Amino acid sequence: MSGCRLEARQISKSFGGVKAVDNVSLAAEEGSITGIVGPNGAGKTTLLNLLTGVYAADHGELIVGGTTVARGAWQPHKIARLGVARTFQSARVFPNLNVFDNVLVGAESGPGRTVRRRQAGLAAEVTALLTALGLAERAQAPATALPAGSQKVVELARVLLARPRVLLLDEPASGLAETETARLADTLVAVRGMGITVVIVDHNLRLVMGICDQVVVMDAGRVIAAGDPATVQADPAVRAAYLGASE
């Protein structure tokens, strides 16, 4: 596995009269962790939805590892096939599939030929992944029979099977206990160690400031500050908009 650079250039998205994402530029370097923070309604999830093609941007460009995403290709499955994988705010497992099959769907990420070629060794790969993440025992259980925290792990196993070059995580720490968050931080650092580019959106500032190489602060659809954690934390605009208000 290796990562690639993900860059958004001046992307915007409006819903009706609301500019949810307004002229945002952002570059996540290969093998780094970028954190996106900001108060509720700042446009973080919309930005993530733009980066993964759930929405096509009204304006702006998206570049995945040197490939500029064309207008017609700004769709979730096409961006996924460029190597961009994501998780959702609350784990979105498929309730009508068991854990094993849930993870297997992750292998769909890639051009048809690669996907078919991969099918042969997949069962072993999934078993290994589930064993590593401590879910091997529950492989045949319906995914929704698992507690919420474990469903997040299923979702993580699913995106890892996709062998992403860029991994975007929407609030991975929400609902996790302190120790689980610590384990998550270790996992993310390990993922970065494999060269994968990681982007996380989270409210847990200790996690974000602790592991990120770069932090992007959003407010009202705009980026109000970006840089390494220490610089961002010292930024007065950030303190006013977000940190000051919440603590």
Point out which span in 23-31, 75-83, 178-186, 205-213 binds other proteins (CB under 8 A): 75-83
* Shortest distance (Å) from residue 67 CB to other proteins: 15
Q: Per rule CB under 8 A, is residue 150 in the interface with other proteins?
A: no
The answer to whether the beta carbons of residues 190 and 197 sit under 8 Å apart is no
The answer to whether the beta carbons of residues 20 and 43 sit under 8 Å apart is yes
Q: Per rule CB under 8 A, is residue 158 in the interface with other proteins?
A: yes
Q: Per rule CB under 8 A, is residue 52 in the interface with other proteins?
A: yes
CA dist., res. 157 & res. 225, Å (int): 32
The total of other beta-carbon atoms located within 10 Å of residue 120's CB is: 8
C-beta of 154 vs 216, nearer to other proteins = 154
Which H helix or E strand runs over 100?
helix 99-104
* Shortest distance (Å) from residue 134 CB to other proteins: 20
CA dist., res. 127 & res. 135, Å (int): 9
Token code pair at residue 8: 């958004």
Token code pair at residue 171: 């609030």
Q: Binding other proteins by CB under 8 A: which of 90, 148, 190, 194? A: 90
Point out which span in 12-20, 35-43, 224-232, 238-246 binds other proteins (CB under 8 A): 12-20
Point out which span in 4-12, 66-74, 107-115, 181-189 binds other proteins (CB under 8 A): 107-115
Residue 201 — φ and ψ, nearest 5°? -110, 125
Q: Per rule CB under 8 A, is residue 65 in the interface with other proteins?
A: no
The answer to whether the beta carbons of residues 148 and 75 sit under 8 Å apart is no
* Shortest distance (Å) from residue 72 CB to other proteins: 13
* Shortest distance (Å) from residue 74 CB to other proteins: 12
Q: State which of positions 181-210 bind other proteins (CB under 8 A).
A: none
C-beta of 84 vs 211, nearer to other proteins = 84
CA dist., res. 30 & res. 195, Å (int): 7
* Shortest distance (Å) from residue 232 CB to other proteins: 28
Q: Per rule CB under 8 A, is residue 67 in the interface with other proteins?
A: no
Task: Give the contacts of 71 (CB within 8 A, at least 6 positions apart).
Answer: 56
Token code pair at residue 125: 């790969």
CA dist., res. 16 & res. 24, Å (int): 18
Q: Please give the DSSP secondary-structure letter assigned to residue 30.
A: T
Q: Per rule CB under 8 A, is residue 31 in the interface with other proteins?
A: no
Residue ranges in contact with other proteins by CB under 8 A: 15-17, 49, 52-55, 75-77, 80-81, 85-86, 88, 90, 92, 94-98, 101-102, 104-106, 108-110, 115, 119, 142, 144, 158-159, 162
